[in-house]
Amino acid sequence: GPGAAAAAWGGPGWRLPGRVLELVFSYLELRELRSCALVCKLWHRVLHGDENSEVWRSLAARCLAEEALRTDILCNVPTYKGKVRAFHHAFSTNDCSRNVYIKKNGFTLHRNPIAQSTDGARTKIGFSEGRHAWEVWWEGPLGTVAVIGIATKRAAMQCQGYVALLGSDDQSWGWNLVDNNLLHNGEVNGSFPQCNNAPKYQIGERIRVILDMEDKTLAFERGYEFLGVAFRGLPKVCLYPAVSAVYGNTEVTLVYLGKPLDG
């Protein structure tokens, strides 16, 4: 491990200049970098002091699809470290309905045109603490039901018919963008946002989702307008960003942003 490597380099002798350490680190994978960050303050500073350093640039080039770096998918994730983190928090290729696949860019779900099926996907990583923000946007027709929100690991990601899968039981919470209803436990929890004649979702609009596991709330923003808290009293379990869709060939993109920027 890195600790052994440090010892092998003979005590103070392994205190290489930051630039040299950066070059060495740029060949390592994320798991190894995590271990390296624990070795000493210098190594930690070299790794995390500059989120656009050669370490993160080369890791981004290796793990991210060229399309993700070339297009505006990650335009709201300014640093290379942030882009790498977003990829590790993207939709899981293994934890989704069999009727969807994750595109080569690594961030966009494509729903195959399967009749009488509702299909969802969860991200690779869930949260049981802290505050987290991510963006979701639809790149194709919404159909009759298009739900964004959160789910536990136990929530189903596929079912018969065209239904609001996210929010259909006590394991998930969703906002249906088609009729502006909030859904949990198979029931409508009121409309959202709570204003008269709330504008309908437009294809391509980025919705920002904010999960606060300290306050146990889920909130949404559209553009830079805070739409309010949608759900309160969330359970202290591991919750995953999730979506569910019904329309054939529709595409949904999800990008993890990190901690919300507000206070």
What residue spans of the chain are helical by DSSP H?
2-8, 18-25, 30-37, 41-48, 54-63, 66-70, 80-88
Residue 59 shares a structural domain with residue 44:
yes
Amino acid at 242: A
Residue 154 shares a structural domain with residue 68:
no
Residues (pLDDT < 70) of the chain are 1-14, 262-263
Domain of residue 74, residue span: 18-86
Strand, helix or coil at 128?
A: coil
Q: Decide if 234 is inside a domain.
A: yes
Strand, helix or coil at 115?
A: coil
Angle between helices 54-63 and 18-25 (to 10 degrees): 10
Predicted confidence (pLDDT) per residue in 44-56, tens digit: 998 888 999 999 9
Q: Decide if 8 is inside a domain.
A: no
- pLDDT the model gives residue 10: 44
**Residue finishing a domain among 62, 86, 110:** 86
Residue 104 shares a structural domain with residue 26:
no
As for how many domains the chain has, the answer is 2
- pLDDT the model gives residue 198: 80
Cα Rg, the chain, nearest whole Å: 20
Predicted confidence (pLDDT) per residue in 86-123, tens digit: 999 999 999 999 999 999 999 999 999 999 999 999 99
Residue 111 shares a structural domain with residue 81:
no
**Residue finishing a domain among 27, 56, 86:** 86
- pLDDT the model gives residue 3: 52
Residue 200 shares a structural domain with residue 135:
yes
Residue 235 shares a structural domain with residue 217:
yes
Residue 69 shares a structural domain with residue 97:
no
Residue 99 shares a structural domain with residue 44:
no
- pLDDT the model gives residue 2: 55
Residue 62 shares a structural domain with residue 169:
no
Residue 82 shares a structural domain with residue 97:
no
Residue 72 shares a structural domain with residue 194:
no
User: Using H for helix, E for strand and C for coil, what is the string for 166-207?
Assistant: CCCCCCEEEEECCCCEEEECCEEEEECCCCCCCCCCCCCCCE
Residue from 180, 106, 168, 172 nearest 142 by CA: 180
Residue 61 shares a structural domain with residue 139:
no
Full-prediction pTM beyond 0.85? yes
Q: Decide if 41 is inside a domain.
A: yes
Q: Decide if 11 is inside a domain.
A: no
Helices (H) and strands (E) counted in the chain, each on its own, are 7, 15
Q: Decide if 81 is inside a domain.
A: yes
Q: Decide if 204 is inside a domain.
A: yes
**Residue finishing a domain among 65, 86, 107:** 86
Task: Tell me the backbone φ, ψ of residue 231, rounded to 5 degrees.
Answer: -135, 140
Q: What CATH number did the domain enclosing 212 receive?
A: 2.60.120.920
